[in-house]
């Protein structure tokens, strides 16, 4: 069977899914889902079938899997030896596409060189996204690879949403509001016609709430505004990132506190957000279980900020027809959904407690002026779709050239 492998690489983990292309060459179904975590410390490879049947759970010596390229090779070796499949392409999540990439792109050495320019704009993600790409380019240069960008879905924003109030030359250099989590929002936009056809073409706020968190305003299925901007630091407070911040804070930390840019970067990406506010954890589940007042404050802050930004996005849309929860917190925490819904009451949200506890998908009452949904996201499937589509297009063009 022909398959597409989707890779989502983090700092110490390699998440992957294998999608069969189906009999007609364009249908996609997940065959294997897994991850290699503890890379460089306590490597562990786990995978399961779509029906949750374990396929492997194996640990490795640290020197066997010291980095992401090694994790890519070990995972690939297991897939080749255990799964009777024919790998036709690999799709990768790449967080930042910068001003150059507004659509998925076939990966070449030149593309990688371009994407390396945006490492400083996504230091937690971009280097790790590129590591398995380089590894596969060096070992299997003939294997098609496709980069799918978290920024691409937002590239249709108008200039009022796109610009910062800075001299024009900075915009031309790429200093602009990009927005992120685009693969998640694109998937939700494609699911809405099936889940909620009455509001799919309306004014919808989607809240991607996880360790990384943002919100997006959709009008007729297209992104018109996002809480994230130039980097993945803006907007909502996240697990370890601060969210919206006065730029003067950065100047103060450097000029008055004597912090280096590298130290400020570490502070903003690794020590802030829910972790910084609580002093306990970046995990909402742990904060909900804690009796520490600082844990409660961190959660209050998160809920408050979601409510604030919902008002901003509703203003950008000129009203609101629906609100969608997705991602880890949005999909799995009825308590946080209920708390956020209270903040949205002024917009016309009335939550159905029983439906919320049951995870919906519709969790608002029938008389709620704004419908509220829980829709699980699937960034990996979105990447697989883009990869297969680009591969099919490339093959079609090549076939036409050969016939000509």
The two tokens of residue 148 are 């799918």
* Strands, sheet with 29-37, edge to edge from the N-terminal-most edge strand: 54-59, 44-48, 29-37, 14-20, 2-9, 86-94, 145-149, 105-106
Decide the pairing of beta strands 213-219 and 86-94.
unpaired
Pairing mode, if any, of strands 44-48 and 54-59?
antiparallel
- Residue 8 phi/psi, 5-degree rounding, is -130, 100
End-to-end CA distance of the chain: 31
- Annotation says 57 is catalytic: no
Beta strand pairing call for 371-374 and 322-326: parallel
> 317 and 217 in contact (C-beta within 8 Å)?
yes
Whether residue 341 is preceded by a cis peptide bond, meaning omega within 30 degrees of 0, is no
Helix, coil or strand: residue 224: strand
How many Cα atoms occupy the beta-carbon half-sphere of 33 within 13 Å?
12
C-alpha–C-alpha distance, residues 297 and 274, integer Å: 9
Active-site residue, from 57, 67, 150, 352: 150
DSSP 262: H
> What is the Cα–Cα distance from 18 to 34, expressed in whole angstroms?
9
Cβ burial, residue 168 (10 Å; 0-12/13-18/19+):
exposed
Q: Give the span between the Cα atoms of 88 and 78, in whole angstroms.
A: 17
In angstroms, rounded to a whole number, what is the distance separating the alpha carbons of residues 63 and 58? 15
Residues involved in catalysis: 150
């Amino acid at each position: 069977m022909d398959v597409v492998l989707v890779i989502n690489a983090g700092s110490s983990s390699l998440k992957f899914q294998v999608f069969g292309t189906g009999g007609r060459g364009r249908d996609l179904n997940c065959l294997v889902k897994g991850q290699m975590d503890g890379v460089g410390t306590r490597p562990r490879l786990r995978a399961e079938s779509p029906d949750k049947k374990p396929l492997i759970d194996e640990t490795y010596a640290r020197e066997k899997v010291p980095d992401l390229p090694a994790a890519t090779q070990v995972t690939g070796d297991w897939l080749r030896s255990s799964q009777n499949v024919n790998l036709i392409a690999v799709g990768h999540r790449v967080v930042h596409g910068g001003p150059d990439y507004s659509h998925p792109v076939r990966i070449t050495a030149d593309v990688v060189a371009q994407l390396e320019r945006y490492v400083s704009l996504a230091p937690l993600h971009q280097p790790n996204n590129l590591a398995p790409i380089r590894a596969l380019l060096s070992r299997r240069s003939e294997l098609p690879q496709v980069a799918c960008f978290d920024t691409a879905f937002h590239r249709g924003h108008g200039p009022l949403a796109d610009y910062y109030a800075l001299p024009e030359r900075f915009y031309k250099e790429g200093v602009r509001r990009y927005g992120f989590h685009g693969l998640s929002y694109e998937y939700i936009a494609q699911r809405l016609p099936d889940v909620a056809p009455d509001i799919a073409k309306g004014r919808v706020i989607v809240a991607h709430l996880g360790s990384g968190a943002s919100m997006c305003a959709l009008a007729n299925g297209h992104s018109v505004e996002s809480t994230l901007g130039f980097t993945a630091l803006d907007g909502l407070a996240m697990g370890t990132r601060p969210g919206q911040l006065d730029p003067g804070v950065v100047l103060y930390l450097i000029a008055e506190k004597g912090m280096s840019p590298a130290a400020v970067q570490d502070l903003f990406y690794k020590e802030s957000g829910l972790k910084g506010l609580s002093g306990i954890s970046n995990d909402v589940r742990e904060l909900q279980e804690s009796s520490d007042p600082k844990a409660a404050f961190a959660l209050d802050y998160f809920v408050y900020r979601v409510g604030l930004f919902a008002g901003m996005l509703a203003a950008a849309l000129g009203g609101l027809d629906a609100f969608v929860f997705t991602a880890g917190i949005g999909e799995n925490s009825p308590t946080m959904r209920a708390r956020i819904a209270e903040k949205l009451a002024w917009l016309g949200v009335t939550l159905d407690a029983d439906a919320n506890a049951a995870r919906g998908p519709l969790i608002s009452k029938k008389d709620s002026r704004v419908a509220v949904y829980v829709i699980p996201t699937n960034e990996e499937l979105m990447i697989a779709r883009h990869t297969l589509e680009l591969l099919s297009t490339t093959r079609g063009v090549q076939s036409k050239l050969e016939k000509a």
